[in-house]
C-alpha cells in the first residue's frame, strides 16, 4: 500500500513538473551584442602600401577633414585630407575644385581611371558617381550627362527644372526635380517613365530612391502636405525597355521639410526607410505595412545597409552630444503601426564629437568620431 502510494506521488510530481514546464516555461530572449573589433586613428594612419583587398569589400568614409576607404579589418586603403570638394562611391572617387575645368576619377588604389575635360561638356558642372557610372550634373542643376570610360559624353538630357535628387541602380537612373516631376532613364539616357505625385500645395520632390533591381521607387514629395509614395514596376512593355511604375502605397506625413530628405531601400530591399519629424518611417514591402520609429534629436548619420533586420542611426543633440541608436526593425508579426521607442530600440550610447561617420561592412558596424574609426562586430546571442 505504501509502495503504491509512493508511485502515485511520484506520478503526480512528474505530472506537475511537465505541466509547469509546458505552462510556465519561457524561452531565453536573444540579445544583440556589439563586440569591439578594432580602433584606428586617422591621424596616425597612412595609406597602406601594396593594399590588395577587393574594391567591393571597402567602406568609403568621410570624417571631419579626412576621407578615404577602410576594410573590415581596419586596414586603410586611402586616408586623405580634403582640400576641395569630394564625391565617393563604393569603388570610385574624385576630388575637384569649386569650378572644375578638369575632373579626375580615381579608383580605390588611387589610380586615375577617367579624365574628364569639363570644358568640352556643354553645360559644365560637377561629378556624381552612382551604380558604377559617372555623371556630370550641370552647374544650374538642370542638365545631366553620362561620361564614358574615355572621358567622352555618352548622352545628355536637359530637364525642365533643377534636379533635387538622383539615384541609380540596375542600369536605371532616377531623378526628381523642383517642379514635382519624377523621371526614370535607361542606360542609353532615354526617358522610359515619368510621374507627378501631386497632392500638395508645392509639389517639389525632396527625396527619391530606387531598389537594387530597379523594380521599386520610393519618393518623398511635396510641401503642405508631405507624402511618402512607393511605386512598383508593372512589367516591360512590348519587349522594349519601356516600363511602367504604379503607386502601391502612399502616406501623408507629419513632416514639413524644406530640404533634401533621406530615403533608402535597406535589408536587401525588404524595407524602405525615410526621415520624418522626430523619427523615421519604415515600410515593410512584404507585409505592406508602414511603421513610425520615434527618435530624439536630428539625424546626423544613417546606416544604409540595415542587413539582418538591424538598423543604426546617429542623432545629434546640443553641446556636440551624439547618440548611437540601434534599432531592431519591426517584424512581420507586429501589426500595429503605432510603436513606442522601447519596442524597437535595443541600444543607446552617447558620445561627444563634432563630426561623425556611420557605416556597415559585412557584420561589422564602423563608427567615426573626431579623428577615430571604431569597428564593432554585430551578433545576436
**Rounded to an integer, what distance in angstroms lies between the CA atom of residue 71 and that of residue 375?**
10
pLDDT at 234 (0 to 100)? 83
What is the reported pLDDT for 96?
Answer: 94
User: pLDDT tier at 116 (50, 70, 90 boundaries)?
Assistant: very high
Confidence of residue 57 (pLDDT cuts 50, 70, 90): confident
Q: Is residue 174 part of a domain?
A: no
Q: Is the pLDDT of residue 277 over 90?
A: yes
Cell numbers that stand for 132 in this block = 558604377
**What pLDDT is stored for residue 91 in this prediction?**
92
CA atoms within 13 A on the CB side of 239: 0
Mean pLDDT of 342-367: 89
**Whole-angstrom distance, CA of residue 161 vs CA of residue 147:** 22
Q: Is residue 234 part of a domain?
A: no
Cell of 93: 572617387
pLDDT at position 328 is 86
Is 362 within the bounds of a domain?
Answer: no
pLDDT band at 11 (very low <50, low <70, confident <90, very high): very low
Residue 178, C-alpha cell as written in the block: 523642383
Q: From the CB of residue 15, how many other CB atoms can be counted at a distance below 10 Å? A: 10
Please write the tens of the pLDDT for every residue from 248-263: 999 999 998 999 999 9
Q: Is 189 exposed, middle or buried (0-12, 13-18, 19+ CB in 10 A)?
A: middle
Domain contains 192: no
Measure the CA–CA gap between 322 and 328, rounded to whole angstroms. Answer: 20
Range picked from 45-54, 70-79, 169-178, 360-369 for highest mean pLDDT: 169-178
The answer to whether residue 101 is domain-embedded is yes
Domain count, the chain: 1
DSSP sequence for 173-233: EEEEETTS-EEEE-TTS-EEEEE----SSEEEEEEEEE-TTSSEEEEEEEESS-EEEEEEE
pLDDT at position 2 is 54
- The H or E element containing residue 186 is none
Residue 182 to residue 194: CA distance in whole angstroms: 5
Q: In the predicted model, is pLDDT for residue 340 greater than 80? A: no
pLDDT at 377 > cutoff 50: yes
Q: Is the pLDDT of residue 14 over 50?
A: no
* Among 219, 148, 153, CA closest to 183: 219
In a domain, 227, yes or no: no
CB 158 within 8 A of CB 140: no
Q: Let me know the angle formed at the C-alpha of 243 by 239 and 138, rounded to the nearest 5 degrees.
A: 120
Q: What cell does 371 get?
A: 579623428
Q: Are 241 and 235 in contact (CB under 8 A)?
A: no
Percent of the residues in the chain that have a pLDDT greater than 90, as a whole number: 63
* Count of other CB atoms within 10 angstroms of residue 89: 18
Compute the average pLDDT of residues 25-47: 73
pLDDT at 220: 97
**pLDDT at position 352, please?**
92
Q: Which domain holds residue 89?
A: 83-158
Q: With pLDDT > 70 as the criterion, what percentage of the chain qualifies?
A: 82
Query: Does residue 180 have a pLDDT over 50?
Result: yes
Whether pLDDT at 26 is above 60: no
**pLDDT value of position 85:** 95
Is 241 within the bounds of a domain?
no
pLDDT for res 379: 76
Is the pLDDT at 24 greater than 90, yes or no? no
Please check whether residue 151 lies inside any domain of the structure: yes
Domain containing residue 131: CATH number:
2.40.10.480
pLDDT at residue number 333: 54
Is the backbone peptide bond immediately before 163 cis, with ω within 30 degrees of 0?
no
pTM for this one? 0.86
Distance of CA 354 to the CA centre of its chain: 22
- pLDDT tens, position by position, 58-86: 999 999 999 999 998 899 999 999 999 99
Q: What is the pLDDT of residues 191-213, one digit of tens each?
A: 999 999 988 888 999 999 999 99
If you ran DSSP here, which 8-state letter would residue 4 be given?
H
pLDDT digits (tens, 9 = 90+) for 302-335: 999 988 888 999 999 999 999 999 998 876 555 4
Q: Is 100 exposed, middle or buried (0-12, 13-18, 19+ CB in 10 A)?
A: buried
The pLDDT value given to residue 343: 73
Length of the chain: 381
Q: Read off the pLDDT of each residue in 294-308 and give the average, rounded to a whole number.
A: 91
Cβ atoms 60, 89 nearer than 8 A: yes
Q: What is the mean pLDDT of the chain?
A: 85
Q: Give CA–CA dist 162/205, Å, rounded.
A: 11
- What would the pLDDT profile of 218-239 be if each residue is shown by its tens digit? 999 999 899 999 999 986 543 3
**Residue appearing with cell numbers 527618435:** 295
Amino acid at each position: 500500500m505504501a509502495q503504491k502510494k509512493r508511485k502515485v506521488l511520484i506520478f503526480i510530481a512528474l505530472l506537475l513538473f511537465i505541466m509547469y514546464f509546458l505552462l510556465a516555461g519561457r524561452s531565453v530572449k536573444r540579445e544583440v551584442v556589439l563586440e569591439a573589433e578594432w580602433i584606428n586613428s586617422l591621424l596616425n594612419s597612412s595609406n597602406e602600401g601594396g593594399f590588395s583587398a577587393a574594391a567591393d569589400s571597402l567602406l568609403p568614409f568621410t570624417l571631419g577633414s579626412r576621407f578615404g576607404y577602410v576594410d573590415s579589418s581596419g586596414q586603410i586603403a586611402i586616408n586623405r585630407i580634403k582640400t576641395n570638394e569630394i564625391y565617393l562611391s563604393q569603388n570610385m572617387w574624385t576630388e575637384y575644385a569649386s569650378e572644375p575645368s578638369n575632373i579626375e576619377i580615381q579608383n580605390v588604389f588611387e589610380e586615375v581611371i577617367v579624365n574628364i575635360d569639363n570644358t568640352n561638356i556643354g553645360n559644365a558642372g560637377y561629378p556624381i558617381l552612382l551604380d558604377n557610372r559617372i555623371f556630370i550634373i550641370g552647374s544650374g542643376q538642370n542638365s545631366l550627362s553620362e561620361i564614358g570610360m574615355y572621358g567622352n559624353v555618352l548622352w545628355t538630357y536637359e530637364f525642365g527644372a533643377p534636379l533635387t535628387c538622383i539615384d541609380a541602380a540596375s542600369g536605371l537612373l532616377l531623378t526628381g526635380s523642383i517642379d514635382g516631376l519624377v523621371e526614370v532613364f535607361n542606360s542609353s539616357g532615354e526617358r522610359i517613365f515619368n510621374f507627378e505625385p501631386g497632392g500638395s500645395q508645392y509639389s517639389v520632390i525632396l527625396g527619391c530612391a530606387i531598389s537594387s533591381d530597379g523594380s521599386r521607387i520610393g519618393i518623398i514629395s511635396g510641401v503642405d502636405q508631405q507624402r511618402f509614395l512607393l511605386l512598383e514596376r508593372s512589367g516591360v512593355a512590348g519587349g522594349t525597355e519601356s516600363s511602367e511604375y504604379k503607386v502601391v502605397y502612399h502616406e501623408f506625413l507629419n513632416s514639413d521639410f524644406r530640404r533634401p530628405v533621406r530615403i533608402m531601400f535597406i535589408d536587401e530591399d525588404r524595407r524602405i526607410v525615410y526621415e520624418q519629424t522626430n523619427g523615421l518611417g519604415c515600410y515593410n514591402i512584404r507585409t505592406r505595412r508602414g511603421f513610425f520609429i520615434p527618435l530624439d534629436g536630428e539625424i546626423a548619420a544613417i546606416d544604409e545597409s540595415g542587413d539582418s533586420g538591424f538598423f543604426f542611426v546617429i542623432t545629434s543633440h546640443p553641446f556636440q552630444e551624439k547618440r548611437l541608436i540601434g534599432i531592431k526593425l519591426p517584424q512581420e508579426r507586429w501589426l500595429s503601426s503605432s510603436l513606442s521607442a522601447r519596442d524597437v530600440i535595443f541600444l543607446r550610447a552617447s558620445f561627444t564629437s563634432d563630426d561623425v561617420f556611420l557605416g556597415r561592412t559585412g557584420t561589422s558596424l564602423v563608427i567615426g568620431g573626431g579623428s577615430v574609426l571604431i569597428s564593432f562586430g554585430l551578433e545576436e546571442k
